[in-house]
Structure 1
């Protein structure tokens, strides 16, 4: 599956938004970068679907602009004016040329879901490879109102139970793309989260 990081050159704060162009052109999160539509158009003129990991502003600020430009189907766990298809834990969605299981992974956000196939994990903000706090195996922040470290830990455990052993590509909402032993990264994230120490101790 060919995946492009379409917010990689953003100069303002945004999530990582990913475009899979094989078979069904699909955007995972819309991001908050002005010009994301132009970046998508540099790879495809026919965006068929957008799937959302969650609806924090850095993940959905450009959603309406993307929808106005391409009129894609929009898959989301929580309600949104642009949503055309609700998704829930245990559902499947197509991203590019692969079928992904929807795994409900709250803690960082009440509506957070992750998408996992036999080879690939789109983890949103529940687990990331590196993000400034840790260089290998980090996790979403839980120090703001409505967030829960305990629930996040449960979500990471659930993700490990549902994730096949052969997953080797991880596209997270922040930090860098990772190719390799994704299970080891997620297990490292879980160990760090379980310590319940502040992720950003200076804040």
Structure 2
């Protein structure tokens, strides 16, 4: 299974958008980078699916452009006019070469889901390896309207309950990829979130 961050060279703010090549070529979040369609087109001729972790603008601004270019089905938890398959908690989707469990992980966004297989976690924004607040285990911000630190903590706990011990690859919505003991990174993020301290003190 080959994973490429197709927004790695973005000049403007975007999420990490991951093209996963394998038995099923799938895009996890299209992101907000203009020109992402050209980057994807340079790597593959078709997409078997686009799956969304959530629908914040930095994750879906280029969604219509990608769907128009590749005529791919859209998998999403939250309602969307172009959604072809509704994701639910405990569903299973095939990404690349592996079956991934869908874990409902709200708190940062009401429609947030994460995808976890025997080896890999696509965590969206619920947990990231590093960002401007923390390195080695950070969590999605919860200081904006409609967000909840308490729900985020419950989501990280649920993710840990469902995550196999052997997960070694983590692809988050922001920050760097991580390869190693993913459970330890997620547990570190949970510990920090449980302190209830502002993630960005200047903004809260």
Give the TM-score taking structure 1 as reference length: 0.99
Partner of 1:135: 135
Query: Distance between the aligned counterparts of 2:45 and 2:81, measured in 1?
Result: 23
Using the TM superposition, give the Cα deviation of residue 73 of structure 1 relative to its aligned residue in structure 2, in angstroms.
1.0
Using the TM superposition, give the Cα deviation of residue 129 of structure 1 relative to its aligned residue in structure 2, in angstroms.
0.1
Using the TM superposition, give the Cα deviation of residue 134 of structure 1 relative to its aligned residue in structure 2, in angstroms.
0.3
Using the TM superposition, give the Cα deviation of residue 138 of structure 1 relative to its aligned residue in structure 2, in angstroms.
0.0
| Secondary structure of the corresponding residue to residue 202 of structure 1 | helix
Instruction: Tell me whether 1:124 sits opposite 2:121 in the alignment.
Output: no
Partner of 2:90: 90
Moved over 6 A (4+): none
Superposed, 1:15-94 pairs within 5 Å as: 15-94=15-94
The answer (yes or no) to whether the contact 1:6–1:36 under 8 Å persists in 2 is yes
Partner of 1:160: 160
Query: Distance between the aligned counterparts of 1:86 and 1:202, measured in 2?
Result: 38
Using the TM superposition, give the Cα deviation of residue 82 of structure 1 relative to its aligned residue in structure 2, in angstroms.
1.5
Instruction: Tell me whether 1:104 sits opposite 2:104 in the alignment.
Output: yes
Instruction: Tell me whether 1:201 sits opposite 2:201 in the alignment.
Output: yes
Query: Distance between the aligned counterparts of 2:24 and 2:41, measured in 1?
Result: 15
| Secondary structure of the corresponding residue to residue 202 of structure 2 | coil
Partner of 1:144: 144
Query: Distance between the aligned counterparts of 2:21 and 2:73, measured in 1?
Result: 15
Partner of 2:186: 186
Query: Distance between the aligned counterparts of 1:95 and 1:172, measured in 2?
Result: 15
Using the TM superposition, give the Cα deviation of residue 23 of structure 1 relative to its aligned residue in structure 2, in angstroms.
1.3
Query: Distance between the aligned counterparts of 1:179 and 1:155, measured in 2?
Result: 22
Using the TM superposition, give the Cα deviation of residue 132 of structure 1 relative to its aligned residue in structure 2, in angstroms.
1.0
Query: Distance between the aligned counterparts of 2:117 and 2:73, measured in 1?
Result: 20
Instruction: Tell me whether 1:177 sits opposite 2:177 in the alignment.
Output: yes
Query: Distance between the aligned counterparts of 1:36 and 1:194, measured in 2?
Result: 36
Query: Distance between the aligned counterparts of 2:167 and 2:28, measured in 1?
Result: 18
Stretches of structure 1 that go unaligned for 5 or more consecutive residues are: none
The answer (yes or no) to whether the contact 1:21–1:43 under 8 Å persists in 2 is no
Query: Distance between the aligned counterparts of 2:56 and 2:140, measured in 1?
Result: 12
